[in-house]
Structure 1
Amino acid sequence: MAVNRAGAPVEADRDVPGLIVKFGDYPLHHGGVGAIRSLGRLGVPMYAITEDAYTPAASSRYLTRAFVWPTTGAEEPARLVEGLLRIGRRIGRPAVLIPTDEEAAVLIAEHQGELAGSFLFPPVDPALPRRLASKQGLHELCAEHGVVSPSAAFPESYQEVVAFADTARFPVVAKNREAFVRRRRPAVGGTTRIATREHLLALARDWGERPGVILQEYLPREEAEDWIVHACFDADSAPLALFTGVKVRSWPPHAGMTAHAYVVDNPELADLAARFVEQIGFSGVVDLDLRFDRRDGQYKLLDFNPRTGAQFRLFENESGVDVVRALHLNLTGRPVPEGEQRAGHRYIVENIDLPALLAYRRSGYTTPHAPARASGTELAWLAGDDPLPFLTMLARFVRPGAKHLYQLWRAARRGSRSATATK
């Protein structure tokens, strides 16, 4: 049971379980483990969809049961809905759904009618999560509602890529237009910095007749800061819990998953996020990535993840509420205790922060808003009351042999060379 600083407990409904919903093969997912622990510590029965019986999530002492269901994320929606309903029948009572990837969030939103009897989830416009998860959809929503995002182009052919290259200011950034293509054959392997016109055209030749990419303005890391917002909104799009923090390191460097972050109060950013969510009418948990451009003093929205973010456990208020707890409390009709966020608290993802640290030191990048000293630390994997997920992560991370670690080292070396070349 979580207890706030005044000594009052966070009272969750222990008769309503939670189900971690994820599709695809990514067993080393610390966000799911964090959600299992967060609600499990309140006495909420927790269930999870896992790739196999030996994932870190499946080993948590707070997990009541793992439903082993290998998926790719590219299955037909009807098959995934039927699988969820089958799991719901095995749980035997309505459970709060906690999606940890875009595929799950979109599926739940688009099939609310079929899932409503077996599960609890926030009401949302069925088309909105898919649009938010799309780079093009998000860019259009930002333009509609006056939220700044990096300038971008969405070429529909190789000829349009050539026309863009003729007038673009390099470097530029290429990303996959739709979140779901990472399960299939993506045009680019994640966020890709392209230094020259020639490099862009060489890459574009392999993108096919309909390039599924977004070509985006490059925001120089030397003139930018990476910020994150995690929040939970009720059915009226009012914030139940809203937190702001700064990203110190990510993996891959400057373009990937958060490896090290701090809670930093930022009322301006909190207001921007709350207004945007109210304007678009979203409800539920969100994970936002923004880059503050010191050249023009503006926050530019890069990603809007309509689901629980992997690093959500960075954020908790003084009443012991994080976004997953806020979601469960709200959907079960319980009040969500208010409180200030834990400013100065930090979050470290142990298996990726070391290679990220080495890469960032080589590049010379620092985050001005990171506190000189943390007020407390939350580790993604290691927890004294739940050690097995950490040990399971280690066993899978280094298997087979040191191959995974070697790949991380190679990627860090490539990142450091790229950073040096752009100085």
Structure 2
Amino acid sequence: CEKHGVPYPHTFTFTAQMLNAQGEAPAEVLDQIDFPFPMILKPSDGIMWWQHEFEGQKKAYEIADRAELEQVIRDSYASGYTDDLILQDRVPGNDEYMRVLTSYSDRNGKVRMMCLGHVLLEEHQPHGVGNHACIITEPNDELMGGVRKLLEGLHFVGYSNFDVKYDERDGSFKFFDFNTRQGRSNYYVTNSGFNVAKYVVDEYVFNRPFEPEFVTAQDEALWMVVPMGVVDKYVKDPELRAKVHRLDKEGKGADPSFMKGDFVFNHWLRMWHTKLRHFKLFKTYYK
């Protein structure tokens, strides 16, 4: 990241080997953390994390103080989880400061497609915190350029997905993580005009050349899985709320939970239940 000018938050990696004989985080280890509370804590291995559940477990934590940090570390490893815990400086700002970037790199490690989305809302319930709920495509060539250099410098192949947040403290976009996969909200890319399934089929099934060789999503498009009422209540910026309504009226919106040709009554009923449940979830967990 430093080589290619991709900013990231101050980060400290806590490993199981750092625990003392009592299964606790030693003070001399935690004293090495060079950023203040509140801070973010998340597991490096999400699959193993959910295989070892414990009381109060969350997908990610906003740690308020040293006592809470010690408790979460102790509970995490006592549950049987053995991989690393990632501690990061908390970048201030609400959901509207978030961005998501998805890329496709060919078998030679050349980036062929990039799509940047402006996240307006995320989920906040413990098992879903950070999951995207509303995205508008919003290009930023400078931001995408640094990541393109990073991916090609790594000779990375396949899909990549980055969570990004604007840091008003220094005016930079901080990259939180590098997911070597498509994101849960990946249909925002397809709705922007770039069907990721087509990229991999064209390359690995039909051996077709990429035309054009490199492309970025430039047109506005809307992706959302929450009711419009949730957007109206919890998206703070009135201009962004107005943009959501405009794109929806222009037919540029998509909710992949409800697709043509995918109707089964029980499925349809479950999707509506899930969608409407967001009213209760946001009322309960949104701060």
What TM-score range do you get, normalising by the shorter chain? 0.7 to 0.9
What percentage of residue pairs aligned between the two structures are identical? 18
Q: Cα distance 1:186–1:151, how it changes in 2: closer, same or farther (>3 A)?
A: farther
Q: Contact conserved, 1:204 with 1:211, CA < 8 A, in 2?
A: no
Q: Cα distance 1:299–1:409, how it changes in 2: closer, same or farther (>3 A)?
A: same
SS of the aligned residue for 2:151 comes to helix
Report the RMSD for the aligned CA atoms in angstroms: 3.6
CA offset digits 1:358-388 (Å, max 9, x no partner): 7x946x74497787232511221222x3141
The offset of 1:153, in angstroms, is: 1.5
| Residue type of the alignment partner of 2:68 | H
The one of 259, 265, 271 aligned to 2:133 = 259
Q: Contact conserved, 1:260 with 1:346, CA < 8 A, in 2?
A: yes
The answer for the alignment partner of 1:344 in structure 2 is 220
CA offset digits 1:217-255 (Å, max 9, x no partner): 111125972111112111222122211111111112794
CA–CA separation in structure 1 for the residues paired with 2:48 and 2:239: 35
The offset of 1:192, in angstroms, is: 0.9
The one of 48, 51, 58 aligned to 1:189 = 58
For structure 1, which runs of at least 5 residues remain unmatched after alignment?
1-141
CA offset digits 1:120-179 (Å, max 9, x no partner): xxxxxxxxxxxxxxxxxxxxxx45765322112222223346752696511111101223
The answer for the alignment partner of 1:214 in structure 2 is 86
Q: Cα distance 1:206–1:197, how it changes in 2: closer, same or farther (>3 A)?
A: same
Pairs within 5 Å for 1:378-417: 378-383=254-259, 385-388=260-263, 392-395=267-270, 398=273, 405=277, 411-416=281-286
The answer for the alignment partner of 1:278 in structure 2 is 152
Please give the TM-score of this superposition, normalised by the length of structure 1: 0.54
Q: Cα distance 1:144–1:324, how it changes in 2: closer, same or farther (>3 A)?
A: same
Q: Contact conserved, 1:251 with 1:258, CA < 8 A, in 2?
A: yes
CA–CA separation in structure 2 for the residues paired with 1:230 and 1:298: 19
Q: Cα distance 1:336–1:221, how it changes in 2: closer, same or farther (>3 A)?
A: same
The one of 38, 45, 55 aligned to 1:178 = 45
Aligned length: 264
The one of 327, 330, 333 aligned to 2:200 = 327
Q: Contact conserved, 1:381 with 1:390, CA < 8 A, in 2?
A: no
For structure 2, which runs of at least 5 residues remain unmatched after alignment?
none
Q: Contact conserved, 1:177 with 1:212, CA < 8 A, in 2?
A: yes
Q: Cα distance 1:361–1:163, how it changes in 2: closer, same or farther (>3 A)?
A: farther
The answer for the alignment partner of 2:187 in structure 1 is 313
The answer for the alignment partner of 2:109 in structure 1 is 237
Q: Contact conserved, 1:171 with 1:218, CA < 8 A, in 2?
A: yes
SS of the aligned residue for 1:308 comes to coil
SS of the aligned residue for 1:208 comes to helix
CA–CA separation in structure 2 for the residues paired with 1:292 and 1:245: 13
The offset of 1:414, in angstroms, is: 4.3
Q: Cα distance 1:164–1:214, how it changes in 2: closer, same or farther (>3 A)?
A: same
The answer for the alignment partner of 2:9 in structure 1 is 150
The offset of 1:212, in angstroms, is: 3.8
Q: Say whether residues 1:357 and 2:223 are aligned partners.
A: no
| Residue type of the alignment partner of 1:412 | F
Q: Contact conserved, 2:41 with 2:63, CA < 8 A, in 1?
A: yes
Q: Cα distance 1:179–1:365, how it changes in 2: closer, same or farther (>3 A)?
A: same
The offset of 1:315, in angstroms, is: 2.2
Pairs within 5 Å for 1:4-403: 142=1, 147-155=6-14, 156-157=18-19, 158-160=24-26, 163-164=29-30, 168-185=35-52, 188-208=57-77, 212-222=84-94, 225-252=97-124, 255-316=129-190, 320-331=193-204, 332-338=206-212, 341=217, 343-349=219-225, 353-354=226-227, 357=230, 361=233, 365-366=236-237, 372=243, 373-374=246-247, 376-383=252-259, 385-388=260-263, 392-395=267-270, 398=273
CA–CA separation in structure 1 for the residues paired with 2:178 and 2:222: 22
